[in-house]
Structure 1
Amino acid sequence: MNDDVARRSGSHAASAAAPEGAAPAAGAPAEAPAPGAALLEIRDLDVEFATQQGTVKAVEGASLSLPAGGTLAIVGESGSGKSTTAMAAIGLLPGNGRVTGGSIRFDGQELVGLPDAKMRHIRGRRIGLVPQDPMSNLNPVTRVGQQIGETLLTHGLATKATVKQQVVEVMERAGIPEPERRAGQYPHELSGGLRQRVLIAIGLACRPQLLIADEPTSALDVTVQQVILDQIDEMTRELGSSVLLITHDLGLAAERAQQLVVMHRGRVVEAGDARAILEDPQHSYTRSLVAAAPSVAAARLLPEAFDPAPAALADDDTASLSTAALRKKDLTPLVEIRDLTKVYPVRGREDFTAAKDVSLKIPRGATVSVVGESGSGKTTTARMLLKLIEPTSGEITFDGKDVLGMRGADLKDFRQRVQAVFQDPFSSLNPSFTVGRIIEEPLHAYRRGNAKERRHRALELMEQVALPAHFHRRYPSELSGGQRQRVAIARALALEPDLIVCDEPVSALDVLVQAQILDLLKDLQDRMGLSYLFISHDLAVVRLISDYVCVMKDGEVVEAASSEEIFTNPRHPYTRRLLASIPGNELDIRVEGDGEHV
């Protein structure tokens, strides 16, 4: 391991000698390594990518050791090399990427240079993968049950006669409700959380020795996240399997992994016991990561001289004021939603009610967050507000105007003043456009400035969301998940809207960029009086940014109060269960020197 890596005694992440002996044939049954022996051993790994701008060294001299039956987490910001390291291990680097040095040994067998035919016997059967982005990894024209079954059939673990029942069992193990019905659905018919669980089901289908989980719960609410991670832990205990967990959630890493590897700019900078690193980080970069991580213990920061007590808006007490609104003493709501209901007819079955009698208000300059499990109706509510789907009944007013009746010029003005940042950046960005053109597109559509002015504005926005200027010429496929989400946020800010609907806007971002984006959103709100409808499953983020919180379950609002009230005195049992499920909540993490108490 590199000399600049902070070391810890007894760490399994420290580089060890490669196992002796001949490697078993690819696909041959292998005995489980002895407890504590390395199942995956990466030594001095170098990975390069050929780009239009030249060769990019994505990973340099990275080393780690994952023992059999253990869980090792790799953390770091977007572009740090953590996903590239994992993809190199499973032989799934993009066509322009290649391993240029080092060794990757799995169960004693060298994987670097292994022919593709032999690698296919290992990948899926002995090494499972749960990728980060469900929409770009699931076939949109194939039912999800068929996609899970394909894995079982390919590796000879099911027959055509048994595959349907085995698919149902795999889906149940992955926490997917109504697996028989869900197996017959297409990916677009599932919520983001359910799509992610389908990927988890595929990764676990063959009960592999090693599961590489690349942000496996980034799209899931905390209660489902807990169920999925508990199931992964159970599999590890039963089969002696190992988990390589890639995550930007430090609390999750500390709670679920015994060992932690911190990567920065393609290098391992710190490795060792997970809790020891997070409670007492040694490297300056690790300290900055810990300092930037949001915590439910940290209340929303308010400027001095303002009373943090919420001010009720209406008789139903469904809104509170932000700092900007307090400053202006503006009690007029920008958005009012009353008794909003969405019912989907289902052929041959009872109609499905996605949202029922939802009421909330968004004051000018305030942040109202909506939290709840996947399928609770929070995204459906947001899409009705955006006028992307029509409600079955109810009312929506924006700045005093009826949204549901808007047409022509009124609707165009509404689209300009209300922007959205969606959960899945890959599916919301045009893959044939460069980053610069994507950000400039709303400016062009509303005839803002000339070509030179639009390009200058795009570069300003890229700087605000921490994207390098040379990314202006890149395409979405050339960016990491976090970088793509930053492009989506920059595009939403282009027209300087009054309201931004944020559907999981920071779920794909590492904690450093997440902190930058949240700071940016708060700064824009204070300077411009922006309002936000913020949808998130990350309650620590919700606590940090919200004035007011709505908790939804099964399509209904079960609790609504100020952020302070929700987090310090939750009244509904479901709200209390959400708070209890937050990973790493019990950790006492402190940073000295480079950061503050988190």
Structure 2
Amino acid sequence: MARSTERVAAGAPLLQVRDVAVEFQTIDGPVHAVEGIDLDLAAGETLAIVGESGSGKSTTAMAVIGLLPGNGKVTRGSIMFEGEDLVGASEGVMRTIRGRSIGLVPQDPMSNLNPVAKIGSQIAETLLAHGLATRRDVDRKVVETLAAAGLPDAAARAKQYPHEFSGGMRQRALIAIGLACDPKLLIADEPTSALDVTVQKTILDQLDRMTSERGTSVMLITHDLGLAAERAARVVVMNRGRIVEQGPARQILEDPQHPYTQALVKAAPSVAAVRLRPDVFRASASSAPEPDIAPAEEATDAEAAVVAGPTAPAPVVGAAAAEGDASAPDYIIEVEGLTKVYSVRGSKEEFAAVQDVSFAIPRGETVAIVGESGSGKTTTARMVLRVFEPTSGSIRFDGQDVAKLKGGDLKQFRQRVQPIFQDPYSSLNPMFSIERIISEPLDFYKRGSSKERAARVRQLLDDVALPQTMLRRYPSELSGGQRQRVAIARALALSPDLIVCDEPVSALDVLVQDQVLTLLRDLQREYGLSYLFISHDLAVVRLISDYVCVMKEGRLVEAASSEEIFTNPRDPYTRRLLASIPGNELDIAV
């Protein structure tokens, strides 16, 4: 390792990356993941690196901290940190630098926290390893570290395990570990990608406070361009292992020069979504319902389907239809008074995850349910799928009470209502080929002959714009966007009428996300599909939904057309959700 014996010159960047290339050895030969990267990061500055999956942004960060996989190495260039070149540094030197001088907040808290170790002991391990605490005072410093990360009742939280924390609390714990040693540089790799907007804002505000108080530099890896523009002084845009554009954050996002950056901005739902996709809205603000005053009994149009909540009556679906009124809305599913109550282990208390929720989905339309983590939206979706049994209330699918379905009727229901789950990595069987994954529901329900099933699988691949060569591949050989397309193909296999989409694009970068949302919309137009769309990303919801139900603490607080919710929100909670969207104030010219 080339080491400097002099201190860093005054005004010099804390981090200088020059002409860095990273190569991975694979069975098919070397893969050049990063080519000729040049960037600077000043002391106390926040720099965002953005780009789609596979662009090299995380590889660049891992090269800086010396955590490349065993088959990866820096093949040329220099990484100067405080005047010392980290390229070629021994593992012993890097262990000293990691944590103490360069901290890391990784993306997935569940896979980066030890599930069998208490949170406090994981922070203590970091402090003790770098000599920043003794056995005598480590417990006190652990509590101080957790409190600084914004965790309430830090002393009690230190004694808990990761599974006892919410997603936001786990992310705070990772931030606490990353900043425990007061590093000069913090690498935050997608630190809030799986969190809802309000929790995301709270955590990022806390991270901003902690780093600015300590003068910490931040390298923020993100696919959210609005977040990058809002939180970083400068933005670096990467594509296929190269930097294509970099400069002041607002300038890059408001006036992108490179075609790739322009494509990213155009595809990003979190940046001025309405101006990017004005054509997707079919519902108009003028026809939106009045949730507090328009009773569902008087409904004569589809907007009344989503009039629901604590102060609004459940929709009375059959009134107009029973009288032969042809103008009555045609609902694929009607939910009335849905409630789910859980017993609290070790207590006589009960927890109501969903309370008196009512809504209906017009056939061929999309109803989105939004809200923070713990609001009850996923529990509602799983009751619609009949994965969970409701405590009370009713779900009617095509006029049939779902709770009473048995035998052949239940089997038919499960064919007509299909799910698409959030994580394309865990929702596909890694031991099955893509052909077997898509054909599995056809085989189970014995749809057609083996020849007809094979033809159906090939047709489904065409429908989701995947090449036939994918049939023999396995999920591990596909990108995240390709995996999610396979999941969509599987959901379409049985020609369902309703698809329940539970956070289907939250794990995808903006370009792939845009492709998947466009695919869902095109399939809806072609096959007349109805969607129940669950999401914490309000910008995505604005692109895809016709109607929106807003949930808070298990209840519906507001429901209306998508246009009405986003242009004229009435409940303070809805307004707070909208105000938390990263980059919602940016003026994007596309």
Question: With structure 1 as the length reference, what TM-score do the two structures score?
Answer: 0.83
Which of 301, 326, 330 is 2:279 aligned to?
301
3-state DSSP class of the match of 1:69?
coil
Give 1:387 shift: 2.8
Q: How big is each residue's C-alpha offset from its partner over 1:446-490, in whole Å with a ceiling of 9 and x where there is no partner?
A: 345677776666566566656676665655556555555454444
3-state DSSP class of the match of 1:428?
coil
CA distance in structure 1 between the partners assigned to 2:340 and 2:283 by the alignment: 40
CA distance in structure 2 between the partners assigned to 1:434 and 1:217 by the alignment: 32
Is 1:243 paired with 2:218?
yes
Give 1:193 shift: 4.2
CA distance in structure 1 between the partners assigned to 2:11 and 2:460 by the alignment: 49
| Contact 1:319 1:363 (C-alpha < 8 Å) held by counterparts | no
Aligned to 2:321: none
Aligned to 1:382: 381
Is 1:319 paired with 2:299?
no
Q: How big is each residue's C-alpha offset from its partner over 1:55-87, in whole Å with a ceiling of 9 and x where there is no partner?
A: 322111122111111111111111111111112
3-state DSSP class of the match of 1:384?
helix
Counterparts of 1:347-496 in structure 2, within 5 Å, are 347-348=346-347, 350-448=349-447, 476=475, 484-496=483-495
Q: How big is each residue's C-alpha offset from its partner over 1:352-411, in whole Å with a ceiling of 9 and x where there is no partner?
A: 332222222222222111212222222222223233333333322323333334444444
3-state DSSP class of the match of 2:279?
coil
Aligned to 1:546: 545
Counterparts of 1:243-282 in structure 2, within 5 Å, are 243-282=218-257
Equivalent AA in structure 2 for residue 137 of structure 1 = N
Is 1:556 paired with 2:555?
yes
- Over the residues paired in the alignment, what is the CA RMSD in angstroms? 3.4
Which of 111, 127, 132 is 2:102 aligned to?
127
| Contact 1:357 1:394 (C-alpha < 8 Å) held by counterparts | yes
Which of 27, 35, 41 is 2:16 aligned to?
41
Aligned to 2:78: 103
Q: Which deviates more from structure 2 when the two are superposed, residues 105-114 or residues 156-165? A: 156-165
Give 1:519 shift: 1.0
Aligned to 1:22: 3
Q: How big is each residue's C-alpha offset from its partner over 1:152-183, in whole Å with a ceiling of 9 and x where there is no partner?
A: 34334445555555444444444445655655
Give 1:333 shift: 3.6
Give 1:501 shift: 2.0
Is 1:512 paired with 2:511?
yes
CA distance in structure 1 between the partners assigned to 2:461 and 2:115 by the alignment: 31
Give 1:285 shift: 0.9
Q: CA 1:357/1:191 → structure 2, altered by over 3 Å: closer, same or farther?
A: farther
Q: CA 1:42/1:305 → structure 2, altered by over 3 Å: closer, same or farther?
A: closer
Identity of aligned residues (%): 66
Q: Which runs of 5+ in 2 are unaligned?
A: 308-325
CA distance in structure 2 between the partners assigned to 1:452 and 1:401 by the alignment: 34
3-state DSSP class of the match of 2:14?
strand
Aligned to 1:523: 522
CA distance in structure 1 between the partners assigned to 2:518 and 2:214 by the alignment: 44
Which of 142, 150, 174 is 1:199 aligned to?
174
Equivalent AA in structure 2 for residue 375 of structure 1 = G
CA distance in structure 2 between the partners assigned to 1:158 and 1:351 by the alignment: 42
Counterparts of 1:169-248 in structure 2, within 5 Å, are 169-176=144-151, 179=154, 183-248=158-223
CA distance in structure 2 between the partners assigned to 1:476 and 1:161 by the alignment: 49
Equivalent AA in structure 1 for residue 523 of structure 2 = L
Which of 54, 79, 90 is 1:79 aligned to?
54
CA distance in structure 2 between the partners assigned to 1:156 and 1:461 by the alignment: 58
Q: How big is each residue's C-alpha offset from its partner over 1:324-359, in whole Å with a ceiling of 9 and x where there is no partner?
A: xxx997522424242322324132484333222222
Is 1:151 paired with 2:132?
no
Q: Which runs of 5+ in 1 are unaligned?
A: 1-20, 25-29, 321-326, 592-598
Q: How big is each residue's C-alpha offset from its partner over 1:235-258, in whole Å with a ceiling of 9 and x where there is no partner?
A: 221111111111111111111111
Aligned residues: 560
CA distance in structure 2 between the partners assigned to 1:243 and 1:565 by the alignment: 38
Q: Which deviates more from structure 2 when the two are superposed, residues 427-436 or residues 124-133? A: 427-436
Equivalent AA in structure 2 for residue 510 of structure 1 = D
CA distance in structure 1 between the partners assigned to 2:583 and 2:443 by the alignment: 45
CA distance in structure 2 between the partners assigned to 1:395 and 1:244 by the alignment: 49
Is 1:51 paired with 2:50?
no
Give 1:283 shift: 0.8
| Contact 1:126 1:209 (C-alpha < 8 Å) held by counterparts | yes
Give 1:197 shift: 3.9
Q: How big is each residue's C-alpha offset from its partner over 1:201-230, in whole Å with a ceiling of 9 and x where there is no partner?
A: 333333322121111111112222111111
Equivalent AA in structure 1 for residue 3 of structure 2 = A
Aligned to 1:65: 40
